[in-house]
Structures are given as C-alpha cells and as structure tokens.
Structure 1
C-alpha cells in the first residue's frame, strides 16, 4: 500500500500522516479482499478476523457486517427431516457442551427423561421464539398473542415429521399460563435507567458518536435521518465510475489525477449536478491537498482520541465491505500486477467518506442542536438535554408503549430549538416511568418455554406430570440459565458430528476392506495413471474411471506445484495461474508452432476484423444519437441470437463457433519453456515496438505504411522513446518516416503524442516488458525442480504406467459473471490446462528425466506424459499437444479417449439427476442436456460447482478407492512413507488445505447469510465496471456466492459446516509438523476447521479438540451409511433429497 502522496516536510505533520497511514492499514486488515470477477477467488469473508477464535470472529462479524454466523433452527429442522443429522446427535452435543458449565444432575420429578439438554433443544428447534413485545391492550389484534404464535409451532413440528394439533396445543398452553399465573395487562415500563438520574445515565446508555457506531449511524438513530445510506449510495456510484474498466461508454475524465484529487475538485464546484450535497462545495474547496491531512482535520473536528481511530476506521470501511475489499485488493500491489489503469488508495477512500460524513452530519447537528459535531460539545449538550436524548434512544425499543412513541415523535418534529421544549420532555419522561410495558413478563416467558418443551417431547402425552410445582421450579431454574445465544454454535457442532461420524465410519470400513482385498486380489496391469485436481468435482470422475479397470488416479492441487504467470496465444492479458496465497515469479508464454505461420496471419487478421466489428456495434448501441438509427437499420438482426440463445442454445453455440473459425482458425500451439537470453529479450522488445508503430501507421495511412523501411521505423521509435517534443526552435532535419509518408512536423508530433499517450509507448513500458521477458522461461534446474514437485505432490516416484496424464479443469457457461468461481481455485479461478501442459512437457524432456534420475526418480523410456482438461460443466475432456504424441502410444491414447468419454457420460448422468427438473432418456440425451445448460444464457445454475464440499483428505487413494464420497471431499494424495522429514506434509497443509478451507468458509457463510456474506440472487445482479456485480442498479459490490449456488427452491444445497481435515499419517508426525508451525495449527486451535488423524500404523482415529487435545474416535465404527453393489460403502450425497 505505497501511497502516491508525498510526506509533508513539517516533522510533526509528517509523523501524524504516517500514523494515519499505519492505522488505516490496520483497519483494512479486518476486511477480506474482493477479487475481480474474472479471477474470482474463494475466500473466508472473515479472513481479517482469523487471528480470533471462530466464535469471537462470528460475533465481531455480526457487529461489523451485520451478518449471521450460525445455522438457525430452520436449517437444523431441514437437516433433521432429510436425515443429514439425527436428533440423538443434537441431544449428545447439547449434553456435552452443557455439562462443564451447568449442574445437569437436577431432574424434574415425575419427568425422569427430561434433561436440561432436552429442554434447551425444544427452545432451539420449535419456532417461533416469544417476540420482544405483545400487542397493547385494546389493539385490534387482541392481547391473545398465542393465536399468532401457535401456527409457527405447528409448522415447526410438522417440519420435524411430528403430529401437530393446534387445538390440543392451545389447551396445553392455556394450562401452563394458568399454572404460572401469567399477567395479561403488561407491567411497569422495564427501563431501570428511567428511574435514575438522566444526566448521569445519558452518556452511558445513548453513547457518543464513534463509540460502537459511525457518526452517520448515530445521527440516523437519534434524528431519523438516512445519512448512512445516502453516503453509501454516493460512494458506490463514484467508485463504480472511477474504477470502470471499459464498461462505461463515457469514461470519467480526470482519473489520472487520482481519486481524492478528482473528487475533491468535482465536489468543490458549485454545480448541483456534480455535488451530492449543497454544503459540500465550501468544505471540499478547503480540504488539504493530501487525504491523510483531510482525515486528520475531520478527526480533530470530531475530537476523536487517537486510541479510537482504528475502531472508527474499520466501521467506516465495513459500511461498504465489498467496495472496501476491492480497494484493498488493488492497493495490495495487485493493480500494478493486473495492469489496471486506476486504483483507489484506502486513505483516499476513507478521506472522502469522512469528509462527506462530516458535511452531512454537521448540517443535521447544526440545524437540530445548534451545535458542532465535536464529541466534547456533544457530550455537554447531551447532559443538558439528557431526558430528550434518552427518550429518542428508547424510541427504538419495541416494548415502548405506542402512546409514548407517538408523544416522542411529535416532540421530535417540533424540537427546532433545543431547551424550549424541555418541560414537555419532562412530562413524557414522567409518563415513561409509570407506563405499562409491552414486554412480556417473566411468568409469560416461562410459560412459553415450558409449553415448547412439552409440545416437543410429549405432545401426545398427559400434561399432568408437568403440572407439579416442583417440575415447574426446576424448569424455571433451567430457563434462567440456558444460554440461548449459543444455540447456533451447538447446532453447528451437531451437524459436524453427524457428518464426521459418517465419513470416518466409511473411511474405516473402506480401509479394512482394501486391506483384506489387497492380500487376495491379483494385481492387474495399470494402463494409465491419471492425475486430477483435488477439487471435489474430480472425485466422481476418478471413481468412474477406476471402475472401468486399469486406471490409477491421484489428486493434487490443480496448478500441479507449478505457479506461473502465463500468456496464452493471441491473448492481451497475463494470467496468474497459482493459488492466491502465492505470487509466481516465472513467466511462460504459449506460441504457435513453426508450420502455422500462414494460419497465424489469418488468425490475427480475422480477429482484428471481429474486434473492430464488436467495437463498432458497441459504439453504435451506446452513442447518444446512433441507437435510434442502429435499431431501425439492423436491429432485426438481433432476432437470430436472441432466438438461438433462448430456445436452441447448443445449436446456436455450434453455429457461432463454426462461423468464428472461418475468420479465426484454430492454431496449433506449444508452451515456450526455455529461458531466453538478454539479447533475445531486447530483440523481442524492439520487434514488438516496431510492430506496434507499423500497425498504427497502417491504420492511419493505409498500404503505403506497409513498405516503410526498417531503418525509418527504428529512427521514429527512438524519437518516441526519447521524450523530446519537436518545435520550430529545436526541430532538426525531418525524419525518414516523415519524408516517406509526406508528413509535416506537426503531423509527426501528433503521431508521437498518440504513440506515447494512447499506446503507452514509453521507456518505462519498455523496461517493464524487458523485465517481464527476463523472467520468461525456466532454467534447466528450475525445470527439474518443478517436475520433481509435481511428482512428489502426486506421491508418484516409481511404478510409472505407460501413460501418465495431468488433468486440469475448467467450466463452461454463458452470461455468468461468476464463471471463474467454477474454474480451478488452485489456478486463481482460471482454466488449469496451461499448468497441466507445462507439467507434461517438462516430464517428457530427456534433460529433465536425467535430472530427476539423479534425485532418485527414474522414469522409464516407455512412459509418456499427457496433458488434458476436464470440463466440469459438461464432463467432457480435451487432450493437448497431439502433435508430440509418440506412435508407440497411439492405441493406448485412443483407448483412454474412449474410456474418458464413457466415464464422463456416467458421471454426467449422476450429476444431471441433481438439477431441479432434469431427466434423461438415454446417454446421448445426457451429453446434449449438459451441453445445452453450459450455453444457455438464462441458466442460473450451469453446475453446482463446489457446493456440498465438507472434508479434506490427505492420504493414499487406496483408502477411498471405489467409495462414492458424494462429490464432497477434496482428495490430496499423500504417502507418509515417502515423506520422512514431514516437509511435504507441511507444504500440503500450508497450501492446498488453506485453499480448501477458504472454499469451505466461503460456502459456509454464503449459505448461513446469503444477503450479507453472499451475493443474493443472480436474477437481480448487474455487472459493474467489468470487475464486480451489484444488486440492482447500485449499492455495495457483492462479495460472496450467489443464492443459486448454495440453494435450490429454498432448500440449501450446501450443508454449512467447517471443513473436516483428515490426515492419514502417524500421529506423532502430524504433531511434529503442526507443533513447529503456529500458522498451520492456529486454524484448528481457533476452531476454523476440524482435524482428525488416521494413525495408519495402528488404524486408530484421533480427533483434535481445541483446548482438550487428542481424543480417540470410536463412535460409529460398527456401522456404515450404506452399501454399494461392489460391497464398498457409499457416502450420502450433498443433495440426497433430490437424488
């Protein structure tokens, strides 16, 4: 986060500016990054809080982002109904977590089966809770509040599969009300502070702005304004315009000056259209030239002590977490890496927000209070008018009687001059002390709690056993000590326990079964070893391929241990193909094969024409005048795309692809692996710059420029890069290029300006490109190291098959801003095929094999490495670099292609049944339907992606071979016997596991609270600036997964749980690796993930519990969740209710 603003010369001000920058950086750390949509990275929405325990982070997230963090009773009821969780699991979990803190030995007489855990479960599972207030006496709805609540209880019972008779339930509730002497007329207003000295209580109860809320939130709460929402709306709009990457037809002028300077100048003007508030021009015209000084000025005017700055800054940033996260991502040097033209520094963003807030809040306070916004003056004023401030604050309490609410509202509207209405406020204050509250009394609450316990556990039984006073006394003590705020985490623990027991039981049975089979089964020759990404979507295809026989599969992170920056053939962009936690140093490029020179010319010519045509259509559609003519002239031509993409998406896609190939033919390519020399790098830069100049000249001056001599191009290139601006005073002899084209010196100057400004042909660009080329390719030692890493991650050191295939994966969808979320997360949300091609190409090189042999890895001459990609949307495969395949392996490759097709169809049929309303008639119908989904521009759910992920298994494939894991497990290959030092295990836990944990937490929070941590429904999404989505036509950037990814028809597709990590290795090895690295053990200690070790030498499972250490897991070993035809256990799928 290097600031573009220079530090001031004054030492004291310099120190203050540095302090502001450091505290802004600390506040920003609490926010997650928001990646651009073209490289969507799954991440933990509470990533900035991972140094806290999971429960503390959830509480902080609720405060900062206003988002829920645990599954509610509705989700638990849904899981009970679908069989994903058992009531016994819930009861056991509640017993376990309650036992250390509460006296569980106390049981109510006559009800020996009733326990505190069961009583608590009834309160959790039976909705609704008692509302905070009841209708007032005389209210048209009546005071019989239970008439509104009983239907909710009935629905809850029915969701749980229990009988619910409203008449019987109503009689039972009435009986408990009578037993507990429920009051029906309310009680004295339950605000103890109303009976204390108001002057002493006001600062403690109401609080000052900046203490737990921003100034705008404080003002909105007390004065009924909407400043906070207005600020968010204004800043969202200006950020979208400033950061736009080409979506807007008219880009915002002046962006090169920087966000702070641009907004300060715009809002300082008195033109109403450019200023969102009438008081802003005066204040913004007086703002300092640097954002840090502007922040200091606002903080000084508000009298905020230094120790509260970080808290205030974090709340300001969290007001728009999506935009703030995007700004943080760009500020962390990603903007330069991605070559984004514009970025906003966090201090600029905060300075504009605080200045805007200062203006709008200051106007309200000056009009309403006739005072400034300094907290010192506000504190004094609040104490002088304590009763009014307290009553305004209590106005938000739902238990406040309606008559008081109306009195407060009437006085608030008349309080133009504070102090003059104090006698009236005193009268309201007196009435508040003697009013009847709408809040339920304790006896009513207890009656409702006991009623729910009876309705849940004994609705068909007699109520007589519950009428004993001793029973009610026990339940009264229970109700007082039950921590209802912890029900959510307990429900989560029960869900996790159920899946953990099921998965470990399955793993245990599978391990024993394979141990028995391995001693009796005759070894069959391996046709190929297939290496897939650990992605949960690879589990199904691996299983189907293995069932065909002759195939071994292994899982490793989809970048195959080769982090690279990659430029595809014909691409203008460099892809970062590695996990987000890495920053690749090596740069590789895809080039055409030598015999494709002629086709390459056709390729670039056709692409140039198509781009020109696309640009023309875009200009015609968005110009202020031409749309009317455009629609009348050729608007009818839009009918074919609309009809085809809507009704025949597969056919239309094939038609467009064929037409495009007529202009832009497919080119055979290869990846350039070898390092280029410095001389070659300089020659490449020279060639590119000359080519750029020639291309510009051809565009401006036509065919004549094609025959321009090489020396003329070089002379003019030197002039452009020299930085000299020619004029009549310093003009030398005209250039060769000028003479050749017949240009005046003014025309030459204009051409120089265009090349420098529009095409960025400057010395800095040349140096940057030269540095990039110097990193292109791999040295011989780097090639060997990458090849060794790829094989080590796959636990493949010997027994090589004739074919070894690296499969990356990608997805295919249309009109889907979240397409990259379906691609390979280990490749930065992109297609993983380049990494697969690099890995295979390296391992086929004799020099690399010789280097590996020196390291003890001997690859037979009969082994050939292939690269391919698995399209997870259509379950189809593509193999690359067929020009290099040896003749000796052609039959084996043909057999592989056939088996890939068969396995893909089998998996496709399995997946197709999970989509709502899907069916298939035959195998061809499967392929056609999935292909149609991938090209349907109205399809909101082209595939489920990683929804349903639940576990991360580090161990050998033989433990799960043949087991249907339901597409829910990340499978990382690992043989502890090949890793004596534990270094490889440390790498796996610090790399692939981190990515898997982020994926899990992204899905978890997007399921728990999709409105806050997710991105809502795709139906209302609009792409903004080509880098993000907004909900509707404005507002914050959405930072999580869409509703359609984790839900289906209101039922959650994803089961929200923390990731279960199972490591198959000796426990002492795991302890050694984790014990020496707090970064690895911390997430388990703080509860962000679950950890189980399968001690392979002994076959014992050990579960790690934070704060309690290791516990031997034994539960569930005697049972499995199902049996497949092969005799292998089958894990429950993520969407069993639709299967």
Structure 2
C-alpha cells in the first residue's frame, strides 16, 4: 500500500494520534491464537468482521497475500462430484451479479451466459510465465482451442452466433495480436512500506532474512515456559530489557550485520515500550504519516510471534506455567532496532544512501507495467472461440473492447465467489430439504416417558453420540447446549499445577472451584508417590548429563526408550496400558469432591469467590434447564456429559477439547452442574422459580473422550441405591452408543476398513489416541457445517453425518425471545469461530493454517514451529482439516423470522455475524414449519428441491462402506431390544 492510501480504514491522522493507537490498530490484524494448552478456535479474519464477508475475503487476500476461497480446480472437482449443479450456478449468478441479463456487447452473450459457460467449462488459465508455452507448444495459435464452440452445448441463448464459422490459424494469430492491444496493462499492487521493500525491489536483497533467525531465537527464549535448560536472563524486566542485555553484554548472536547494535540500544530509552518505539521511529527518517504502515509491516515480519506477545500481554493467565511481562511494544522496538541495523549493513554493502532510499519509499507509487495482461488476453481468446465470436470481435474494436472489459470484470476472485455461493447453496438445499422430508416422515416424535435424559455439548461430534444413544435406547431423550453448562468457573483439579478458566473466552469467571480429596491422608500418600516418581525422573535426567554415568545411562535409556517407542508404534494400546500400569499402578488417585458451595463471601487472593452460593447455583441450573426446554417431566436419571479429547502425540490436542470451556475439558463443569442440581437447597430455590425436580430424579456428571470414545462418571458413590439399576442401564446404553460412534467416525480413517465392525472400530479409536506415530488421532470439527437451534424432536432420528452443532431450544417456553437472544450471543461466536478457523485453514493451509504436522516442533510449550526455527505457526494443521468442506456455518433456528431480525438488530455480536454474512441464517417457523433464509436484509422463503431422501433402519446402514461426506437421511425407530453387538 502507498503511504497515503489506507482505503480499508479511516485516515491515518484521524485513526491514530499516538503510537499506542497505531500499535493497537496494527495488533488487531495479528493472529489471536492462545498457547497450545488453551487453544480455542476463533475467526482467523477477526480484524475484518465489521465488513461484509465477500469484502473481508478480498481485503484479507491482499493484506496477507493469501487465498481466501478454494481454487477453481477444487470447485471444478466439486462440480464433477455433483456438489455444484447448474441450478446452483444460475441462482448464485442471479444473486451476486449486477444486471446479469446485460450483454457484454451489443448483440453478444449476456453476463449470465458467459459466466454459466465459464464456470462449467473447466478452463484452466495458465500463469503469466507459461502462457507463451501454452500458445506455441500446445499450438493454440495454430488450431482452435479444445473449448471452441463449447458454449453452444451449454446454452441455447440466441445472443451469440449460431452459425459456426471456421477459424484459420492466421485468424487466430491475428486475433491474439489484437487482444494484446485491447487488454489493460499489468499492475504490480506491491507498494513499498519499509526501506527493506525498496532494497528488495531494486536489488533483490531481503534484509528480513537476516532479521528473522535472530528475532525467532530471542522470542522463543523469552516466552519459553520452562523447556530450556537455561532460561533467558532478565526476563522479568521485559523483553526489550532482556534483549538489550543479551545483545550488548553477552557473546551470543554475533552476526556481522549486528555491529553497532549496542550503540543503537544506548541511544533509546532503557525501559523500552511505546516510548522506545516512538523514539526509534522519530530518528528513522520515516514521515509520521507512514508510521502506521511501518508498524504493521514490521509486525508482519513474524506475525505468529508478534501475535503471541500480544496475547500474553492481554491475557497473561493463559501462560502454561508462569506469566511474563510480555509487551507487544517491546517486541516491536526490538524488531525496529534489528531492522535498523540490517538496513544500515545492506546500504553499506550496496553503496547506497539511506536518504535516497527514503525518497523512493516516500513516493509510494504502485508499479504500473506497460506490457499487456496476458492472462486476461488468454481468457478472452478462449471465450471468443467458445462463443464462436473470433471473426465478429476481430472486425469491431468496440465489440472487442466491450467483450474484453466484460470478461476482465469477472476476475478469478469474482468467479470463485460465485462458485462459493453455488457450493453453499447445494449444501443448504440438501440440508433444509432433508429436514422437511424427515419432519413429514416422523413428525415431532420424542419419548413420552423417558427413562434417561442426557445433556451433551452442542459439539457436532456429539451429534452421532446422541443419535446412536437414541437408537440403542429409544427411551432416552437427549439435549444439547454449550458444554460449560452455564458454570463459568476457574478450576483447579487435584493434579493441576495451576487453575484455569473453564468457560467461553468471552466470559471472565468470578468463581473459583477446587477439587479436594475426601481422605487427606490418602491424598498425601498419592502426592508423595508422584513426587518420588518426579524426583526419580529428574535424577535420571541429571545422570544423563554427568561425566561418569552419562554414557552408561544413555545406553541403558536408549535401549529402554527404543523398545518403548517401537512398542508405541506397533502395538500402541498394549504399550500404553503396560506403561501406565508400570508407572501408576501403585498410586491410584484418591476419591475427591468439588469444593462447590460457599456460605459466606470468602474470596481468593485474585478476588474470586470460593465456590457458589445456593442462590447463584439455583440461577445457573434454572437458566440452563430453561434454555434447553428441560423443565419437566424429568426422567429418573439425568446425565450431564462434558467432553474433551486426549491423544499421545498431538500438539493441538486442546483444539479437540471443548471450545465452550475455553479449550479445556468439560468434565468438571458437568460434575459441578450435577452437584448443583442434586442439592436440596438448590432444588428448593428452583421450585420457587417454577421448576420442580422430583426426589425420584438424580443428576450424574459424566465425561466423554471423543478421541478414544470412552466414558467416565463422577461421584457414583453418592448415587442413591434405588438408582443403581438406572445407572447400570445408562452405562450400558452409553457403551453401545460409543461403539456406534467409533464405527461411524472410523470410516473416515484410511487405516481402517470402510465397513469396519463396531468393536474393531473402538480398538482403532483407542489405538489412534495412543499411537506415537499417528498424525490423525481424530478429525475434530472437520465436518462442521450446520448449527441447529431448536427442539430435538425435529431432528431426532435424522442422520446428520456428524456435521451439525445441536443446541436445544423450545420456542414455546420463550415468549419474549430472551432465551434465544442469549443462546445466539453465546453459541453464535463459538460455532462461527470453529467453522471459520476450519474454513480458512483449509483454503490456505500455509498462510492461515499451520501446514502439515511433519516438520512441527513445539516451542516453549506455547506453539509449533517448522523445524528448529520459523515463525510461530498459527491455525490448524492440514491433518485436522483435510476432509473439511469450507462452507459458512448454516445456522437454522426454530423461531419466527421477525424475532430473529429483532435479535440481530439489538445485538452487535449477532448483527455482525448475520448482517455481514459470516454465517448463513435460516428461520424455521415454529408454527408453520416454513423455512426462510436471511439474505440482503430480509428473509427469503426456501423453495424445496427434493430429489429422494434415504431411509434406513439404523445409522450403520447409511454410512457403512463410505468414506466421504454423506447426504442426510431418516433413521427408522428402533425397539429397545434391537441393540446389536
């Protein structure tokens, strides 16, 4: 961007009057990823959420030099697979193209006709460098293109020639020459922002390649959370001071270009921070109006590391082990000084004057090349042959320019945007049509007198768990909600070193809950055993480094660890159980309880309440039960099931945990909610609010591991004796559901047979969780595409292919819409964040994702690098997203359109997501059952295109033997005695 061009934001003077403002604005464009242990999905383009989705994609592609839509080749593959149909293309063209009936030139094809051909032609446009080869070696200048006259096969439009005329080689060559005179010249949109850019453009010397290795080592050493043997000195004084000490007094990082760096540090404030940044910029020669761009471009040297410094500064409690005084301004000041030293060395090496470089930078012009844009010429060249217009266009410069301008306006980005709309439309049509057909088949069925009610997280992985549970135990009624269950707390487990928040990232917990042992003596023996084990490991590590024992210990440890690694790869389940028994067999964890309730206002040193009052607990239970519509009648047993994921070799394990708990595991929240709902005092307060839980109902907390499909249950010793049979039946039903769940998701794994049996699938799932060499322990949210907010009775028995977030909501119990508003404000950003991070990590796995797992190394327990030195990689690895379909979340809400429109108008969060098109919003009218999509400020009725709806006895019959995404289908009701082994 030129220094005087800031088109996507307000003018520099109005926007940023101080360096602090400039830095804050630039920081908003950095990755906002938390350290690995607290990884939470978020919108990769959060800085652009105030813009319409299409405009955000366009600007982000330019700013980050990234891809924000699938390639045309990927869309063509989808079209060939039936994921895009002609009807979808026509609808997308009419929706997104201004005046689609307008002709490209008088008497020529319309915009619709051209686009319909272009988007179905499969035309591959060569790169600028290879066009000459295509034209001459493929002989496109000597014979008609293979797509010649192909438009006639796709349309019967009379707007182009219907009487084909032969085109000779001489005509083709002459026409190509004419096009090169008609198309616009090429434009290089890269505009210098720093002196480094000027040197790179003029001399092909990139000084950032000098800076990056040094800045990476310094950043990694400073943020390290205890992995390094020797910590970076003076870290508690801040990054700037620590680096100043290292570079000016230590004999390290003595790169030749760093000569004079000590004098540079001595010239600026010792404290660093914003003052140092301003002082450095003041003496740099950059005009003040250029500072915002210089700041943003400097942060972009290593946006991953810069973003982590920003994250630590804003949320120090996210540090895995200990907080550090990390400041983005310190990091920027160091980067500016390193840049200053590198520019000085480069100028000396090239014999340049900094003043002349600054003059060229200040001009800020965008390079305009005189040669024509051959890629546009090629598009026109082929399209003219497809519509048999070569002779017509060759004879008329006016028509040729009109045709050329008309095609040029539909750039690759514009074409891919239309294809994206068509791609999403096919998914939307299939989903809504399936829901309509399913409702007609089964109505709104649900158990009349449920024996079990089970509440799960809204997570789409729990969709299949719920479905299989209902298949194998039809007397079960299931519900879905955000997986922290309304219990926003800071939690410390028995084995935890520090506490952590278990709630959505947009909430700040006000309560502290600790897991405490029932028997303190037993707990002391347990902790003493853990300390002895830790001490033994520490002494072993010290022995490895000793002079006398090092070699012997290395040999012994090598043999033991080598055998263990081989066993982990060949028989991971057996190796895990054997290792666990050997290391933990003699010190079992003691029985515990949650210190959940308080009688006074006792607080922690951090100002958090130690537990909840009965009134607070009653409000939580009332709010959660009301929002789900679980207000009675109650089953004898109510399961509250949190979820998480555990795998052996997976740095992004927290990304598979529960987003509603801030990247934690939802078991403690489920346990806390059940404990609240069981307490007599809480039930008494609930009865005053209108919810009466009978004495015959018991709540039990549980935890579902979505990686190995195991279930755990809390406080079973407290379950009344008359519920023991109910608990046994529940456990059996959940065990059967987990078998079905494992079978359904294992069909996605290439190392498992597509028609794998249920018990073998569970063994595969367990092995994936414990296999040291397994890059795909589970696919996480890779199938997410739908969010349904409404009554379960409308989706019960509907096969949703693990693609839908399911949130229970009963519109009949929410007359004012307040419950729905709170659900949308809480669940909307969570679902959208998950969906959009998967979207962008898929469409550009290098810029927005973190690439393949193969070269990843964990740095300081906070993130991953490629190899031993790279920027901190953000986003998701390819092995998590490779099967994903990048569509915006289709959010279907059982509510009247007017109510949804009002909520969007009243809520800035919902209004931004919906109004700017970051999610697709659909209303299902609670009374009429009609569906309507929100588009361009109004709800448009859905028109079904039903073309067959599969029905089967069980889910297994629909997915068995199939690898890819499936259409939705109807599951016939099963009797309780039809559960299959």
TM category (shorter chain) comes to 0.7 to 0.9
CA distance in 2, matches of 1:797, 1:1030: 49
- 2:538 maps to 615
- 2:216 maps to 236
Q: Which runs of structure 2 are paired with 1:87-486 in the superposition (5 Å)?
A: 87-100=86-99, 103-104=102-103, 115-122=113-120, 125-129=122-126, 131=128, 134-135=131-132, 144-146=136-138, 175=167, 178-182=170-174, 213-269=193-249, 271=251, 273-274=253-254, 277-291=258-272, 292-335=274-317, 340-368=322-350, 370-373=352-355, 377-378=359-360, 440=374, 445-451=379-385, 453=386, 469=392, 477-482=402-407, 483-484=410-411, 485-486=413-414
CA distance in 2, matches of 1:589, 1:535: 26
CA distance in 1, matches of 2:938, 2:192: 36
1:509, 1:1120 within 8 Å by CA — same for their partners in 2?
A: no
1:186, 1:439 within 8 Å by CA — same for their partners in 2?
A: no
CA distance in 2, matches of 1:661, 1:313: 52
Query: Partner of 1:529: helix, strand, or coil?
Result: strand
Q: Which runs of structure 2 are paired with 1:444-843 in the superposition (5 Å)?
A: 445-451=379-385, 453=386, 469=392, 477-482=402-407, 483-484=410-411, 485-515=413-443, 524-548=448-472, 549-593=474-518, 596-621=519-544, 627-675=550-598, 770-771=605-606, 775-843=609-677
- 2:935 maps to 1105
1:531, 1:807 within 8 Å by CA — same for their partners in 2?
A: yes
- 1:1124 maps to 952
Alignment counterpart, residue 936 of structure 1, candidates 747, 758, 771: 771
CA distance in 1, matches of 2:703, 2:543: 38
CA distance in 2, matches of 1:866, 1:306: 62
2:222, 2:232 within 8 Å by CA — same for their partners in 1?
A: yes
Give 1 or 2 for the bigger CA radius of gyration: 1
Shift of 1:568: 0.3
Deviations 1:546-597 (A, max 9, x none): 112100001000001111111001321212111111111111011111xx34
CA distance in 2, matches of 1:190, 1:320: 42
Shift of 1:915: 0.8
Query: Partner of 1:230: helix, strand, or coil?
Result: helix
Query: Structure 1 residues 599 and 471, CA, compared in 2 at 3 Å: closer, same or farther?
Result: farther
Alignment counterpart, residue 679 of structure 2, candidates 845, 866, 870: 845
2:88, 2:425 within 8 Å by CA — same for their partners in 1?
A: yes
Shift of 1:293: 3.1
- 1:69 maps to 68
Shift of 1:225: 0.9
CA distance in 2, matches of 1:358, 1:191: 42
Deviations 1:770-796 (A, max 9, x none): 345x62111121111111122123221
Deviations 1:55-104 (A, max 9, x none): 23223322332211011112212212333222431243124322436605
CA distance in 2, matches of 1:187, 1:966: 50
* Bigger fraction of residues in helix: 1
Query: Structure 1 residues 1011 and 206, CA, compared in 2 at 3 Å: closer, same or farther?
Result: closer
- 1:55 maps to 54
Shift of 1:187: 11
2:782, 2:880 within 8 Å by CA — same for their partners in 1?
A: yes
CA distance in 2, matches of 1:150, 1:995: 57
- 1:429 maps to none
CA distance in 2, matches of 1:258, 1:778: 37
Query: Partner of 1:591: helix, strand, or coil?
Result: strand
Aligned residues, how many?
Answer: 931
Query: Partner of 2:639: helix, strand, or coil?
Result: strand
2:104, 2:402 within 8 Å by CA — same for their partners in 1?
A: no
- 1:879 maps to 713
Deviations 1:448-481 (A, max 9, x none): 3335x47xxxxxxxxxx66663799778744421
Query: Structure 1 residues 114 and 634, CA, compared in 2 at 3 Å: closer, same or farther?
Result: closer
Query: Partner of 1:1018: helix, strand, or coil?
Result: coil
CA distance in 1, matches of 2:450, 2:134: 77
Taking structure 1 as the reference length, the TM-score comes to: 0.76
Shift of 1:841: 0.5
- 2:690 maps to 856
2:312, 2:319 within 8 Å by CA — same for their partners in 1?
A: no
Shift of 1:25: 1.5
Shift of 1:119: 3.3
Query: Partner of 1:144: helix, strand, or coil?
Result: helix
Determine whether 1:983 maps to 2:818.
Answer: yes
Shift of 1:366: 4.7
1:528, 1:551 within 8 Å by CA — same for their partners in 2?
A: yes
Query: Partner of 2:281: helix, strand, or coil?
Result: helix
Query: Structure 1 residues 1136 and 1073, CA, compared in 2 at 3 Å: closer, same or farther?
Result: closer
- 2:851 maps to 1016
Alignment counterpart, residue 1084 of structure 1, candidates 911, 914, 922: 914
1:810, 1:871 within 8 Å by CA — same for their partners in 2?
A: yes
Deviations 1:30-77 (A, max 9, x none): 223121101111111111221122223223322332211011112212
Shift of 1:514: 3.3
Query: Structure 1 residues 99 and 374, CA, compared in 2 at 3 Å: closer, same or farther?
Result: closer
Shift of 1:1042: 0.4
2:216, 2:869 within 8 Å by CA — same for their partners in 1?
A: yes
CA distance in 2, matches of 1:364, 1:190: 42
Query: Partner of 1:1104: helix, strand, or coil?
Result: strand
- 1:459 maps to none
Q: Which runs of 5+ in 1 are unaligned?
A: 1-15, 136-140, 156-161, 163-171, 195-203, 384-388, 398-432, 455-464, 682-768, 1048-1052
